[in-house]
Structure 1
Amino acid sequence: MTRRKEIDGSAGVPTFYGKELRWKREEAGLTQQQLVEGSFYGHSHLSEIERGERRMPHDLAVHVDKVLKTDGFFARRCEDVRKARKAGHAEYFADVLEQEQRAQEIEEWGPALIPGPLQLEPYIRAVVQASFPMGTDEEAAAKVKARRDRAWLFEDAQGPESWVVLHESILHQPLVTDDEMAEQLAHIAAVARKRRFIPQILPWNTGAHPFMMGTTRLMTFGDAPPLMYTEGMYNGQVIDDPGVVKQYMKAYDRLRAAALPPEASLSLIESAAEDYRNGKYARRLERRPLAEEQP
């Protein structure tokens, strides 16, 4: 018999909400399957909500309130859970946060930046300050924490299988100091060396290639169709149309074919990290004058 997993309601709003939901369901003497009967959701969906791993859709919350006779409690509070889950993240990213918890495989293309879960704090701060120059220190700290909390995607042995293609220019564009950039790239290499993800570098002189646009992520699941997510600086979009997602998956295969092999890519990342340690890129951080003074 599988041992019942306890829920730590003190861990945050989603787990508090989920624990209360489980308590009310069990108090009513209902199984998860019985509670979702008459809704459009399965018992596994409800199980993830009870564990705080998934947010409650409003229509399901209304259904639960009706069955459990909880006077609208879960419908009123599901917005609080949604806000808590996206703390430190953009609102449009909320669905991606939820889906990546369930993904079996993730394939990502980084044309200009290292993927968020692989970024270390100095790199994150540089990106955040460039994107939100008027933000407060507290807001920046929240974004740093939120991004580092997602490091498990690449660092956890139980995380999804991941494949990341990066444009070579990322290695030679120092967003932070030489020492910090060296540490950042060494971190990527160390995670990859532990076989947590497969890296490929697309050479700067490849020419025309698929995905000549913003960040793209493909996610596949064991119990649901694949999804594609694309992101700009202040917006993002999840695409679930099967035909469109299939097109993107084929394009990603062509992108991988154009990139360097994984081992050569990893060596290139490690070499760039060593160059930063040796100060090779130090002068690139110095701003050049717009025009030289004329005699």
Structure 2
Amino acid sequence: MEMLDTERREAANWFRTLRDRIVAAFEELEDSFGGDGTAGRFEVSPTTRPDGGGGIMSVMRGGRVFEKIGVNWSEVHGTLNPRARTAMAARGVPGIDGDPRFWASGISLVAHMQNPHAPAVHMNTRMFWTPGAWWFGGGADLNPCIEYPEDTAHFHDTLRAACEPYGADYYQRFRDWADEYFFIPHRGRARGVGGIFFDDHNTGDWAADFAFTKAVGEAFLPAFLPLARARMAQPFDADDREAQLVHRGLYAEYNLVYDRGTKFGLETGHDATAVLMSLPPVAKWP
């Protein structure tokens, strides 16, 4: 496992490159929409983790298309605290009971849209390493407050195409995992219309698993950009806005109570503002 230095560097560099491409694509989308106000731009700031590493936090607020979007990249390292190690051991991560050192890198994105007809979206991909194990994780899920079946179909079809070259069962297995993972037990419902989710992914072939993870990341813009373009100028009224704000409340509940990445980031001392960038700018509860 100590021989993965080159692979870790390759993964971290790719996640950062993906972050750069997505930021550029979303600023181009802002420029393309001739709505009111100035086209949005990301505010970029470094983040630090006291025990080792940091990242880049990129947040846009009050754009023409995006009410709030965060695209974060990180590369962190240090030692896992007992709580984090216990949680990983409980879900069957191998080799986690030995040497507590860890390294992790990835990209995390959450977009909350101005237009209620345009769906909110989440995407992340990451690599995690300890001296006893390495694995990849990530996925993407769509969170419309007003669902359009054709949008849901396009999003899922794009993710299916990304998964199929790497395993005949990947799409269905990871779609089912997303349906289970992005479920809000105390509300008895999913937070959106699903997507794919995978974690602790290690087939023993690092290159193949990294290629799959890259395919998921590459699929994000083709899956989401057409939906944003189609809906960003659609007329909406006060009832549509109310539905959007109430739906955002569900999203906030999930991320604060259940989300694995939120828990890990806060428990391992990463920048709290970066960890919580996924929260919507405005939300309501009925």
Instruction: Considering fraction of residues, name the structure with more helix.
Output: 1
Instruction: Considering fraction of residues, name the structure with more strand.
Output: 2
TM range (shorter): under 0.3
